[in-house]
Every structure is written in C-alpha cells, then in structure tokens.
Chain A
Amino acid sequence: MKRSYELLLILYPRAHRAEFSGEMRQVFEAAAAEHREQGRAAYAGFLLSELIGLMAGAARAWVTPQRAAQAAAARYRHLPQEVADAQQRVDDNIIGMVHPIANHQFEKARTFSNLEREARANLRMVQERYGMES
C-alpha cells in the first residue's frame, strides 16, 4: 500500500513532491496503521478517502491558475527557452493524465502516459545538449 501511495504522489507537480512527499508518506503511514487496527471496513474507507483526496489535491495543485503560473515561472525562470519548453510539455502531459485517471478513462490516461514518457526522453536529450543534469 505504501508503494501505491508513493506512485500516486507522482501525480503532483515536482515542486510539491519535493516539498511535501516525505511528510505526506509519513502521515499516511501513521494514519494507515491506526485505521488498519479498526477493521477492514474502516481501513477500506480510509484508503478510498485518501485516494480521492490525492486525486483532488493533485488536480488542484496543477490547475490553480495563478499559483501554477507563478510556480511555473519560478521553475522555468533560469532555464534556456528550449529546456523550459521541453519541461512544459512534460508537465502538460502529466496534467492531462489527472482527469482521465479520476474518471477511470485508463486508455486515455495511457495515451498521456506514453506522451509524457516521450516528452521526458526529449527533455533529457535537450538537457544533455545544454550540459544540464536531469
């Protein structure tokens, strides 16, 4: 379950993950242990609530327009334009993945996932060209 939670954290913007993923994992583990002791129904309810909370939280983290724009501006400020564009394509495909996953449209989510993988490979290539580490 811990592994599944960690995988779901990938839905969040990188900056959010860097800042909070350790704390989120730690709080999730503590709460999961508590609910596990309360029986199957309580544990299942807890997991469902966590899943919905993570989906909604990730979507909010990406789509809150002003904050997202500010975060993106800060993230890309020091990057060469070509790298910033490549990074933007990766981020756009991650955003595209959130809604289909939340609506169980897994085929569509897989399409975005493939596009994201390609965009990430392209980003690595561009970064190497600029002598940057990925």
Chain B
Amino acid sequence: MRHVAPQDSLEIRPLSEPVLLILTSLAGHPRHGYALIKDIEMLSSGRVRMSTGTLFGALKRLLEDGWIERFEQDDTARQKQAYRLTGTGRRQLEAELERMKQLTRAGFARLRAAEAL
C-alpha cells in the first residue's frame, strides 16, 4: 500500500496504534511511563495494555523525531521521567485525527449508501 502525502502538509504518515495512543495520552498533560500505560489502558477501554518494551521503543522513536520531549518535574527522579508533546507532535496528532475523521466519515457514507440500495 502506498501513502500519498498532501503537497502542502508537514511529513504526514499514518501512525501506528502505540504511537497514536501515546500522543493522545500526552495531549492532555505530561505523563511518566507508568501513568502512560494506565492512561492508554483507559483510553482504549482496557483493550490495550502496553508492555514496557513497546512503550519505551515508541518513546525513543518519538524523542528522536522530536514529537515529544522530556519534561523536568521538580518532584520526580530520573527513573520517573515525564514526557510531553512538542509543537510538531501536536500537529502530527491533529493531522492523524483529521485523517481518521475523514476516513470514518467516508466509511459511514459508503455504509449508508449500501444500506439504501
């Protein structure tokens, strides 16, 4: 499958589910690792319990891409590092949610059209 990016967009690519869930979780406020796992479990209605391997693999890629950054909290140790969205990360999340919204709309329109036949 080939993805064609709109010409005037930032680098838009469909996000994997772990990445989408992490960005969505951080959209509210900064969170550290365990809080992310718990929030993602809640966001997905208990369907996704991310393992530490998956979580920190995704966090590393997001840090390298500059979509999230470490957030220093006075009361947290190095082992309880918090993360937050950067401007780029926020724009990527908005673009992905918009893409999903359009796809959802188109999908429902097709279903309705099929039912009307």
Question: Which residues of B22-69 are within 8 A (CB) of A?
Answer: 32-34, 37, 49-57, 59-61, 64
Q: State which of B37, B49, B56 has its C-beta within 8 Å of the C-beta of A20.
A: B56
Smallest CB–CB gap between B35 and chain A, Å?
9
Question: Which residues of A32-56 are within 8 A (CB) of B?
Answer: 46, 49-50, 52-56
In the complex, identify which listed stretch (B5-13, B76-84, B89-97, B99-107) lies at the interface while the others stay far away: B76-84
Q: Given A19-B60, A30-B34, A49 and B51 touching (CB < 8 A)?
A: yes
Smallest CB–CB gap between A102 and chain B, Å?
12
Smallest CB–CB gap between B69 and chain A, Å?
14
| Residues of B contacting A46 in the complex (Cβ-Cβ under 8 angstroms) | 49
Give A6 to B105 CA distance when docked, in angstroms. Answer: 47
Find out whether the CB atom of A56 lies under 8 angstroms from the CB atom of B56.
Answer: no
In the complex, identify which listed stretch (A57-65, A85-93, A107-115, A119-127) lies at the interface while the others stay far away: A57-65
Find out whether the CB atom of A58 lies under 8 angstroms from the CB atom of B53.
Answer: yes
A1 at the interface (CB under 8 A from B): no
A105 at the interface (CB under 8 A from B): no
Interface 1/0s, chain A 8-40, versus B by CB < 8 A? Answer: 000000001001101111111011000000000
How many residues on B have C-beta within 8 angstroms of the other chain's C-beta atoms?
Answer: 21
| Residues of A contacting B81 in the complex (Cβ-Cβ under 8 angstroms) | 23
Give A46 to B79 CA distance when docked, in angstroms. Answer: 21
> Which chain A residue lies CB-closest to B58?
A57
Give A25 to B55 CA distance when docked, in angstroms. Answer: 12
| Residues of B contacting A60 in the complex (Cβ-Cβ under 8 angstroms) | 57
- Among B51, B52, B61, which residue has the most Cβ atoms of chain A within 10 A? B52
Q: Given A26-B79, A31-B34, A49 and B56 touching (CB < 8 A)?
A: no
Find out whether the CB atom of B34 lies under 8 angstroms from the CB atom of A54.
Answer: no
Instruction: Give A residues with C-beta under 8 Å from B.
Output: 16, 19-20, 22-28, 30-31, 46, 49-50, 52-58, 60-61, 67
Given A56-B54, A57-B52, 8 further pairs, Cβ under 8 A: A22-B79, A23-B56, A26-B34, A26-B79, A27-B52, A49-B49, A52-B51, A57-B57
